[in-house]
Structure 1
Amino acid sequence: MIPSLEQLQEWFTKLTSFKKNQFHPMVWINGEPVIGENVFVGAFSEINAKDALVKIGDNCDIASFVSINCADSHKKCIEYKEEIERGDIILEHNVFVGSHCVIKGGAHIGHHSVIAAGTIVDKGYIPPYSLVFGNPMKVKYEYYK
């Protein structure tokens, strides 16, 4: 007997920390992010909203292998700080995030912006209609206006 997709999802959820979600069985969602309408999240992506606000607006497209992660534990790991640092993350409406991007805590991405594949997005405000690319990130303001 071949198991149904629902059975596979149920088994996968029991065997991992991946909660069942509306996107794909291999999308890991931690915490309670606020996710708008008509949002796509590709396989092998992570949305970590544990102990922070992570808000993704309507009509966003998040490709595969993307990390949207509010937490930064490197200072705790090297015993520089006692706590994991966390920062809110906001993606306004109609944001595209390319494959293999990392969006770090404290990032606020304006509506109708594009984050190019492989970009590391640091904390700070990115205005609407921007093109963001690279590591370190570079921003072309109003590129899509």
Structure 2
Amino acid sequence: MDKFQFQSLFSELTNMKPNQFHPLVWINGDPEIGKNVFIGGMSEVYAKGARVVIGDDCDIASFVAINCADSHKRCIGISENIDKRDITIENNVFIGSHSVIKGGAHIGHHSVVGAGTIVEGVHIPPYSLVVGNPMKVKEGYYLHKQENAEKME
């Protein structure tokens, strides 16, 4: 069995559509994904019912969940709806392994999300470092590092 036959069979068995990133990346819905983006295996981008945008030159590690939907209120019986909110990941963002990006999140360009971080539905400024659970945002953490790198060139 060649790679294309395997991908076809795998897609048929799992409902994971083939994609340009990795055979074990699950893309559900129609997210807008920029150019030169890497998404590692076992990651999920769930974009049904909301706008999910991933900018250019992003690096999304393995085992990352980017999910616009939250069904906990429906599950426990306090709502009949699933909450779906937009997600924006601007250009040049790194998202570490085992992170979760929740609906409503807006991650500014040149930011880093550390491994294992749960990003809540808030606006994160450019050049930030986001770490932990609960998340902590270090605004502008990479701004001076970027400026210094440009001076060295």
TM range (shorter): over 0.9
> The residue matched to 1:44 in structure 2 has which SS?
coil
CA distance in 2, matches of 1:54, 1:120: 17
- 1:1-145 to 2 correspondence within 5 Å? 3-145=1-143
Q: How many residues align?
A: 143
> The residue matched to 1:6 in structure 2 has which SS?
helix
Per-residue deviation, 1:105: 0.1
**Amino acid in the other structure paired with 2:79:** K
Q: Deviations over 1:14-34 (max 9, x none)?
A: 111100100011000000000
Q: Deviations over 1:39-82 (max 9, x none)?
A: 00000000000010000000000000000000000000001000
> The residue matched to 1:68 in structure 2 has which SS?
strand
* 4+ aligned runs moved over 6 Å, structure 1: none
Larger radius of gyration: 2
- TM-score when normalising by structure 2: 0.93
Q: Which has the higher helix share?
A: 2
**Amino acid in the other structure paired with 1:73:** S
Partner of 2:151: none
CA distance in 1, matches of 2:89, 2:17: 22
CA distance in 2, matches of 1:113, 1:59: 12
Unaligned residue ranges in structure 1 (runs of 5+):
none
Per-residue deviation, 1:116: 0.1
CA distance in 1, matches of 2:78, 2:59: 36
Identity %: 66
CA distance in 1, matches of 2:30, 2:85: 14
> The residue matched to 1:112 in structure 2 has which SS?
coil
CA distance in 1, matches of 2:138, 2:13: 43
> The residue matched to 2:11 in structure 1 has which SS?
helix
CA distance in 1, matches of 2:61, 2:131: 15
